[in-house]
Structure 1
């Protein structure tokens, strides 16, 4: 797994405001839904991208069939990829071609593609592979306890 400094991850998560989630599912028990809902509750605008659900709404937002269909004024600054690793190069190319405000390409846990990462980095974008923004946000901003994880802190609150 690639190593990223805590400062790099924290800065990336702080500056991301509008996140296109490629592969976001409408199913409330899918990991993509957990991540999207969490980020939405933290003030991020989620732009769902899923060709099977285009024209519908997920988490109150219109679903687009692909990145090229997102309106130019959406100002998407991060793409979070919930697709297989072999699909990443075409997603990154579409992001670079159609999202002028793009700053970050984020690949979920289990998703890595060195070719696509190099292409995005060569275009001046931040790249994070094989990580989850929800988990990293919780870890870096002190919210892991909210996910039911033991924090090692003893509290007298009931």
Structure 2
């Protein structure tokens, strides 16, 4: 079952490094503004977007496989149809604790695979909203 409890969401939000798949270089887009908010609140944000060279003055990676840094949370700003492939990349890594799907993004089957691997799965929740509600 996807994470729903405030206690577990707060636990996830106590981590430091967030890889944002679909992170946008375009101000005003949720995929830019939400990672920007998280950066402003002390999180290390790693942009993953094959169509951007950099976001927030940081190199944007083409895929999760290219990210050398340790990742705690993978935050997804891509359509639900793409989640399964992103989860495939997550399962190739040992460091990711949580896969977080933003509002409107759902994939129960991919979520079950995440949970079967011993990791946490959040879907259809906004990282910024939950941070503001539980942490800020």
Q: State the TM-score, normalized to the length of structure 2.
A: 0.95
Match of 1:112, SS? coil
* Number of residue pairs matched by the alignment: 135
Q: Unaligned stretches of 5+ in structure 2?
A: none
How much does 1:39 deviate? 0.6
> 1:6 aligns to what?
6
Cα deviation code 1:56-109 (max 9, x no counterpart):
2211211001111112xx001110000000100010110110x32100000000
> 1:22 aligns to what?
21
Q: Is the 8 A contact 1:67 1:94 kept in 2?
A: yes
Q: Unaligned stretches of 5+ in structure 1?
A: 144-158
Q: How does 1:36-51 map to 2 (within 5 A)?
A: 36-51=35-50
How much does 1:3 deviate? 6.7
Larger Rg computed on CA atoms? 1
Match of 1:64, SS? coil
Higher RCO (CA 8 Å, separation ≥ 6 residues) = 2
Q: Is the 8 A contact 1:75 1:100 kept in 2?
A: no
Higher helix share: 1
